[in-house]
Chain A
Amino acid sequence: EIGLTQSPGTLSLSPGERATLSCRASQSISTNLAWYQQKPGQPPRLLIYGASRRATGIPVRFSGGGFGTGFSLTISRLEPEDFAVYFCQQYGASPRTFGGGTKVEIK
Chain B
Amino acid sequence: VQLVESGGDLVQPGGSLRLSCVASGFTFTDYAMTWVRQAPGKGLEWVSTISVSGASTYYIDSVRGRFDISRDNSKKTVVLQMNSLRADDTATYYCAKDQDWVERGAVGQWFDPWGQGTLVTVSS
Interface residues of A (CB under 8 A from B): 32, 34, 36, 42-46, 49, 55, 87, 89, 91-101
Q: How far is it, in angstroms, between the C-alpha of A32 and the C-alpha of B109 when the chains are bound? A: 8
What are 12 A-to-B residue pairs whose CB atoms are below 8 Å? A34-B111, A43-B94, A45-B114, A46-B111, A49-B109, A87-B44, A91-B110, A96-B107, A97-B46, A98-B44, A99-B43, A101-B43
Convert B88-122 into 0s and 1s, putting 1 for each residue whose CB lies closer than 8 angstroms to a CB of A: 00000010000000000101111111111100000
Q: B43 near A89 (CB under 8 angstroms)?
A: no
For A34, give the chain B residue with the smallest CB separation: B110
Q: How far is it, in angstroms, between the C-alpha of A99 and the C-alpha of B26 when the chains are bound? A: 29
* Smallest CB separation, B2 vs chain A (Å): 12
Q: B107 near A44 (CB under 8 angstroms)?
A: no
* Smallest CB separation, A9 vs chain B (Å): 11
- Tell me the interface secondary structure of chain B in the complex: loop
Instruction: Name the 3 nearest CB pairs between A and B, nearest first.
Output: A34-B110, A43-B114, A46-B112
For A85, give the chain B residue with the smallest CB separation: B43
Interface residues of B (CB under 8 A from A): 43-46, 58, 60, 94, 105, 107-117
* Smallest CB separation, B116 vs chain A (Å): 6
Q: B43 near A49 (CB under 8 angstroms)?
A: no
A34-B111, A98-B46, A101-B44 known; 6 new pairs, CB 8 Å cut-off, are: A43-B94, A43-B114, A45-B113, A94-B58, A96-B46, A96-B107
Q: A44 near B44 (CB under 8 angstroms)?
A: yes
Contacts of A34 in B (CB 8 A): 109-111
Given contacts A43-B94, A43-B114, A43-B115, is CB(A98)–CB(B107) below 8 Å? no
* Smallest CB separation, B117 vs chain A (Å): 6
Q: B58 near A95 (CB under 8 angstroms)?
A: yes
For B47, give the chain A residue with the smallest CB separation: A95
Contacts of B108 in A (CB 8 A): 91, 94, 96
